[in-house]
A and B are shown apart, each in its own frame.
Chain A
Amino acid sequence: MPKILLVEDNEASADALARRLERRNFSVVIAPDGHQAVSLARSTQPDLVIMDLGLPGIDGWDATAIIKADVDTRHIPIIVLSAHAMPNDRHQALAAGGDDFDTKPVQFERLLEKIEMLLTTRGVSASASDI
């Protein structure tokens, strides 16, 4: 099953989203900050990263940039999540190397669509089967 690295510092948000994703047959790894995001990306080699922007320490922009700069991890698609949702954020996220962008609070179905699209283009079989 496809592996998703979820970078989110808010425990409740992380837990809720992870469990919903797991119900859709994704395996989810949670990184609570930017540092761990980078190192976990390297070590676990997920199929996709969902990156929250409001992180302590290295913020989401930089973590995205680092992952994309690293030879080992640059192939991994990243969806950037932001609670601000200002037009600049979309451009900034894409400029930093993000592959897609979405807003918080999460609209789950919409997020799923984006995940599916990115995984398909990478050629990873996604079982987005509803239960």
Chain B
Amino acid sequence: MASLELPPPPDSIALRADELFAKHKHEIYVHTDRLFASLMVLQWVAGILFALWISPLAWFGTVSRTHVHVWAAIFLGGAICSVPALLGVFRAGEPSTRYTIAVAQMLMGALLIHLTGGRIETHFHVFGSLAFLAVYRDWRVLVPATIVVAADHALRGVFWPQSVYGVLVASQWRWLEHSAWVIFEDVFLFVSCRRSVADMKDTALRTAALEHAERESSLTAAQLRITQQQAESATRAKSDFLASMSHELRTPLNAIILYSELLQEEARDHQQAGPMKDLERIHSAGNHLLGLINGILDLSKIEAGKMTLALEQFDVRAVVTDLASTVAPLVQKNANTLVVHCSEDVGPIHSDLLRTRQILLNLLGNAAKFTRQGTITLDVARRVEGGAVNVVFVVTDTGVGMTEDQQRKIFEPFTQADVRTTRKYGGSGLGLAIVARFCSLMGGRVSVESQLGRGSQFTVVLPVDVAAVVDAALYAA
């Protein structure tokens, strides 16, 4: 497994990796200790069975006694196996446990070899034991094991040289060969253990890094949720604010407008011409203020995403005709002429009636406001553009027009073409901003073309079926 090219981990990850590695190591020690505890018992039993099978009795002429090997298998075997088995159960994971197990394992091997009369197969026990001990992945356990094997050979070679290999000359080569096999296996297992440990460390590091990343991402997720909640509560606060401000602003205005109208009526009753003009000014100011407030509240509602559309089917021609009469006084105020071209097949439209009227009223009102002794034209037609059916309203005037710069900013709130324009022509600078937003809310669009001194042309395109075009969340059918 290629090692990942990572930058050096921050301390927290490195520490956690060490922790995980130590934990994993310990788990392996405990697990293997328990395994060996069972193995010890198994070997003990095997030893007894071997002794009983191979050399159950020792004979002295006609007298037989239980063979020494049987007693050895039972008691010596039991002694060899008991301590490591108990340690494996009660002190699993301790270094002393596994070193004891290593020693006991090889001693048991020596015993088993004797009990089986030196069968060649039993010698395999040595190699098997070493390999099994490597399951600990701690190369150090191989050391006492190898020492025991070596000591066994050495001691027997010293005290009972015959028992080891017989003729001395041959034995030296033998000894070398046996040692070579054991050393070879030791080296192999040593390398294998080291490799395993390196892998374990690597895994621990990756796991720690992964934990860290997961924690970060869940932190981020939590933060995101908090931010989202904050945004939501901010939006809710805004709507609540809107709701209460709406009420707060309109209530006194209600009184102002009502009183001014009342006083005007009473003055007319008592034929008092004096206060009439003043009262008219109050009334007019009140209405102006109302217009501003409505505009601001509308805009805020749209911005807060709280503006919902009320969709209904209505006849465009009828609405246009009605609007024409509504704006007539405004048009006449500046001695303008209104021309309406509404094609016969415009038909019905499924949209927000109130908002559509608002849009058209605003555009027509603007046209009337900025034109003197000119012509205001309203063209209404049904148009099919690439699969979408729209109704197109074009308001053209022969008024003052706008510069290119003014055209660019005209749909932004509070930018009238010019500050001077506001003072000269009145208005709040909100109308077109609201028109633009209403248009887009209904899935349509508005655009302007103008020439300074020659006039302006506003084009509004609205889909015939708003519901088909716009996200359902925005409207209440």
Q: Which residues of A are in contact with B by a Cβ distance under 8 Å?
A: 10, 12-13, 16-17, 19-20, 23, 54, 83-87, 104-106, 108, 131
Contact = CB atoms under 8 A, between A and B. Distances in A.
Nearest to A82: B247
Given A54-B251, A104-B251, A106-B254, A12 B246 contact: no
Interface residues of B, number: 22
Contact of A84 (B243, B261, B308): B243
A105 B297 CA distance: 14
Contacts of B164: none
B236 to A, nearest CB: 15
B282 interface: no
A15 B250 CA distance: 16
A56 B255 CA distance: 18
Contacts of B57: none
Given A13-B251, A83-B254, A105-B290, 9 more contacts: A10-B251, A12-B255, A16-B258, A20-B265, A87-B308, A104-B254, A105-B286, A106-B257, A131-B269
A12 B252 contact: yes
Q: Top 7 A-B pairs ranked by shortest CB distance? A: A16-B258, A12-B255, A105-B254, A83-B250, A83-B247, A16-B259, A13-B255
A108 B261 contact: yes
A121 to B, nearest CB: 24
B310 interface: yes
A23 B265 contact: yes
Most buried by A among B243, B258, B286: B258
A66 B326 CA distance: 40
Contacts of A104: 250-251, 254
B291 to A, nearest CB: 11
Given A10-B251, A54-B251, A105 B257 contact: yes
Contact of A12 (B247, B259, B310): B259
Nearest to B266: A23
B262 interface: yes
Contacts of B251: 10, 13, 54, 83, 104
Contacts of B253: 105
B476 interface: yes
Contacts, number: 56
Contacts of A131: 269
Nearest to B258: A16
Interface in B256-313: 257-259, 261-262, 265-266, 269, 286, 290, 308, 310
Contacts of B259: 12, 16
Contacts of A87: 308, 310, 476
Given A87-B308, A104-B254, A105-B290, A16 B247 contact: no
Given A84-B246, A87-B476, A13 B308 contact: no
Nearest to B306: A86
Contact of A106 (B258, B266, B310): B258
Given A23-B265, A54-B251, A83-B251, A105 B246 contact: no
A72 to B, nearest CB: 31
A78 B269 CA distance: 30
B54 to A, nearest CB: 98
Contacts of B286: 105
Contacts of B476: 87
Contact of A19 (B246, B250, B262, B308): B262
A105 B265 contact: no
Most buried by A among B246, B251, B257: B251
Nearest to B310: A87
Nearest to B254: A105
A101 B253 CA distance: 19
A2 to B, nearest CB: 19
A106 B262 CA distance: 12
A115 B261 CA distance: 19
A87 to B, nearest CB: 5
B261 A20 contact: yes
Contacts of B258: 13, 16-17, 20, 105-106, 108
Interface in B324-366: none
Nearest to B289: A105
Nearest to B352: A87
B262 A20 contact: yes
A20 B250 CA distance: 19
28 contacts: A10-B251, A12-B252, A12-B255, A12-B259, A13-B254, A13-B255, A16-B255, A16-B262, A17-B258, A20-B261, A20-B265, A23-B262, A23-B265, A23-B266, A83-B246, A83-B247, A83-B250, A84-B246, A87-B476, A104-B250, A104-B254, A105-B250, A105-B253, A105-B254, A105-B258, A105-B286, A105-B290, A106-B257
